[in-house]
Structures are given as C-alpha cells and as structure tokens.
Amino acid sequence: MKKYYGTSKNITSFVVGKITNKPVWFNRKNYVLLTNDKKIPKGYAAIITNNKPSCSAKSKVLCNFNEKIEKFNDGDIILIKPGGEASVLFDANSKHNFLMITSSCNCSCIMCPQPQIADEKDRTNINLKLISLIDKQTKSLGITGGEPTLIGNKLLNIIYNCKKRLPNTALTLLTNGIRFENIEYAGSIASISHKYLLIDVPLHSDIDTIHNLIAGTNGFYKTIKGIYNLATFGQKIGIRVVISKINYKRLPELAEYIYRNFPFVFHVVFMQMETIGLAAENMEKTWIDPHDYISELESAVIKLHQRDIHISIYNAQLCVLSPKLWKFARKSISDWKRSYIGECSKCSQKDNCGGFFVSNLDKHSEYIKPIKDFV
C-alpha cells in the first residue's frame, strides 16, 4: 500500500478517515481534511497540511508532510499512525482495493511476497472502520493476508459487515484453505450467505510433497479437505496456481487433477510470481523465465477451458504468452504496483497488457519484445 510520512501532532492512537479536500459539515469525525489554511478547523478525524500548525491547535494534525497533499485522492481512506506514517487503505481511483486482515500465516510459502510481521497488532477494528467508510458503489474488494482465517470468528464478523454495508460489492477471500478442514468453521462462513463472496485457495501441485514443499508445511490434504467442506455448503470457490521452477512441469497434470476432483470450482487462475519477500530470498529455487513454461501453461489452460472451467492468467505479459492465451490474460496487478519497461512504449498491445510488478522490473522474462515487431 502507498505510504507517506509527516510529523504528527496530538495523534496518540491510530486514526482511520476518508480524505476530503473541501470542508464537510456532518460526521466530521469520519473525515481527514486536506488544507494548507493556517487556521486549523475542529471536529475532523485529523488534518493533513504542509504548513506548521500553531501550538494552540488541539486538532489531530499531520504536518511537515513529505509529499504534496495532492498525492491523496478525494475519497481515499487512510490510516495515520502516531509516529506520522499515513497509509492509503482504500484508493478511490483504483479497482484493486483490499482489506489486509493479518500478516500472520500458518504456511511459509517459498515464494511468498508478503512475509510475516512479528508482534503484529489486531487490525479488526481498523478494518471494520474501513468497511464503514467505503463507497457503497465499490464493485470489488479483496480480503487478504497473511492468512485471514487465523483471526477466527473475527473474520466472520468482517465478512458479515461487508455484506451489510456493501451488499453489492464482490468479495474475494484469499486463503490457504487449511482452517476450513474444520467443517464447522467452513459452515459458519458459508452461513453468512454473502452472494458475492468467492474464496480463492492456492493449489501448488497435484502431488502432495510438491505442494507441501512450496507451502512450507504439510497442509496438502487439509487444503483439499477444506475445499470439499466449503463445497458441501455451496460456497463459491476458486483455485490459484503460482507458477515456479518447482511446479511448472506438472501444470498439465495439475489441470487434470483440478477437473477430476473439483469440477465445481468457479474459477482457476494461473499466476506469474512476484519476486519480493521470500521469493527474492529463494530466487534460485523458484525463478524460471515465464517463456520457458509456456507449453505447459498452454496445455493446462486449454485442457480446463475445453471443459468449460473459467480460466484466467494473472501477472503475465502478452509478448511472452502465445497469442492463443491472450484472451485469458487479465490486468491483475494493482495500479500502484504495476509498471512497464522501455520496450513496452513501442508495443501495440500495451494498453491490454498486465505489465510488470514494480518489484519485478529487474527480474523478468528475457523475451520481452514489442508485439508490433513480430505480429
């Protein structure tokens, strides 16, 4: 998430508020006002200014800001910490917003881009406040971690509040599925009856030892059981496959396994790696040029597509994919994490291409080439 820094004044605990560039007269406590007026108004959750407020100002203020306050969009929802850090929790101009539930996890995936944070504080109240401020017209929202199910019934409360406050917003819960081996917990989340909730579960291989090696725990059969338990209650389920040097050779076999065992899944996603976090630490074990697994990926995608299973390819560049796979490629990388390299400026398909993670600009396929050069 985007982070900015300033000097905090009178901020002794976390502040969550919606950015406004203009004064509001009702429910000021829910808003963070951007202003460079010398007179600091009262009643807002906080004030952000590039000016230095007077010593007599008692409002919560973030000043000496390291960026122009125009960096924020009207309608953004931010978290301000006592130390002066301001994080954008909800970007009003983005289609890729999410609730960060926890960084804790019961797996240690070898290519995880989001390592655990020690001694992390409970974020439930922050997320409930965030949900209460999100625009009801928001089309989609992710729920992610870490492993969101580790907060137990608090996750049920978050999903219930999304259903109540954002009834038409599509939710995607990213989870390793292990906690759902408990059929009562699986039943509890399904009983919320959120009609737009999709639970996406990673499956790294059709072979238990390969899946467990990638996940860093013996969770294969627990994940499989969790998927079946969710299906028992009619919960909509997706499967995600992050492609690496460890599992790419068996992508066709994994596709067959998915169809034979989970023909009920709503969606299957094949994903290119994001090379930060543990992925960066284990690059030698995990990295393979996406060009080198195109035949396996194509076989897996076509195999499932021919059987009427909805397929997507995330985080991939069109010039690396074979043209017959282009229709499955999505612009899945969050706006603030997506970038392009020099070769892309000459490409006729740049606007349709998913681009690169900013973190992958130094580690990407050697076969990137403007499409107009060889179409």
- CATH number, domain with residue 42: 3.50.30.10
Instruction: For residue 70, name the pLDDT band (cuts at 50, 70, 90).
Output: confident
Residue 118 near residue 280, CB atoms below 8 Å: no
Tell me how many degrees the CA angle 170-172-173 measures, rounded to the nearest 5.
140
Please return the burial class of 317, using the count of CB atoms within 10 Å of its CB with bins 0-12, 13-18 and 19+.
buried
Integer Cα distance of 170 and 96 in angstroms: 12
Same domain flag for 108 and 255: yes
Q: Does the residue 93 lie in any domain?
A: no
- CATH number, domain with residue 310: 3.20.20.70
Q: Does the residue 198 lie in any domain?
A: yes
Same domain flag for 74 and 122: no
- SS3 (DSSP) at 34: strand
Q: Does the residue 209 lie in any domain?
A: yes
Instruction: For residue 49, name the pLDDT band (cuts at 50, 70, 90).
Output: confident
Give the pTM. 0.93
Residue 360 near residue 352, CB atoms below 8 Å: no
- SS3 (DSSP) at 350: helix
**Final residue of a structural domain among 53, 88, 123:** 88
What is the torsional sign of CA 200, 205, 206, 209?
Answer: negative
Mean pLDDT of the chain: 93
Edge-first strand listing for the sheet containing 98-100: 98-100, 140-144, 170-174, 197-202, 237-242, 267-271, 311-314
Same domain flag for 30 and 153: no
pLDDT of residue 361: 86
Instruction: For residue 373, name the pLDDT band (cuts at 50, 70, 90).
Output: low
Integer Cα distance of 325 and 330 in angstroms: 11
pLDDT of residue 155: 98
Q: Does the residue 278 lie in any domain?
A: yes
Instruction: For residue 53, name the pLDDT band (cuts at 50, 70, 90).
Output: low
Residue 325 near residue 280, CB atoms below 8 Å: no
What contacts 326, CB < 8 A, 6 or more positions away? 318, 352
Same domain flag for 145 and 266: yes
| Length of the chain counted residue by residue | 375
Same domain flag for 185 and 268: yes
Instruction: Tell me which amino acid residue 290 is.
Output: P
Tell me how many degrees the CA angle 306-311-312 measures, rounded to the nearest 5.
145
Instruction: For residue 55, name the pLDDT band (cuts at 50, 70, 90).
Output: low
Q: Does the residue 14 lie in any domain?
A: yes
Average pLDDT rounded to a whole number, residues 60-80: 85
Integer Cα distance of 46 and 94 in angstroms: 23
C-alpha dist (Å) from residue 164 to 132, 167, 169, 360: 10, 6, 10, 38
What is the torsional sign of CA 241, 313, 3, 85?
Answer: negative
Same domain flag for 319 and 292: yes
| Structure-token pair, residue 331 | 């612009």
At 192, which helix (H) or strand (E)? none
pLDDT tens sequence across 222-258? 999 999 999 999 999 999 999 999 999 999 999 999 9
Integer Cα distance of 159 and 143 in angstroms: 9
Q: Does the residue 218 lie in any domain?
A: yes
Integer Cα distance of 325 and 347 in angstroms: 18
- pLDDT above 90 as % of the chain: 82
Average pLDDT rounded to a whole number, residues 154-178: 98
Same domain flag for 143 and 28: no
Instruction: For residue 34, name the pLDDT band (cuts at 50, 70, 90).
Output: very high
pLDDT of residue 375: 44
Q: Does the residue 366 lie in any domain?
A: yes
Instruction: For residue 146, name the pLDDT band (cuts at 50, 70, 90).
Output: very high
Same domain flag for 41 and 9: yes
List, in sequence order, the alpha helices (H) in the chain: 124-133, 153-165, 183-190, 208-215, 220-232, 251-261, 278-281, 283-286, 294-305
Integer Cα distance of 273 and 356 in angstroms: 10
153-165 vs 124-133: helix crossing angle, rounded to 10: 10
Give the domain extent around 27: 3-88
**Final residue of a structural domain among 88, 120, 146:** 88
Q: How many domains does the chain have?
A: 2
Please return the burial class of 59, using the count of CB atoms within 10 Å of its CB with bins 0-12, 13-18 and 19+.
middle
Same domain flag for 64 and 137: no
pLDDT of residue 75: 96
Q: Which of 65, 62, 61, 86 is nearest to 76 (CA)?
A: 86
pLDDT tens sequence across 203-218? 999 999 999 999 999 9
pLDDT of residue 131: 98
pLDDT tens sequence across 100-126? 999 999 999 999 988 777 667 889 999
Same domain flag for 327 and 368: yes
Same domain flag for 71 and 112: no
Same domain flag for 313 and 228: yes
Integer Cα distance of 115 and 123 in angstroms: 17
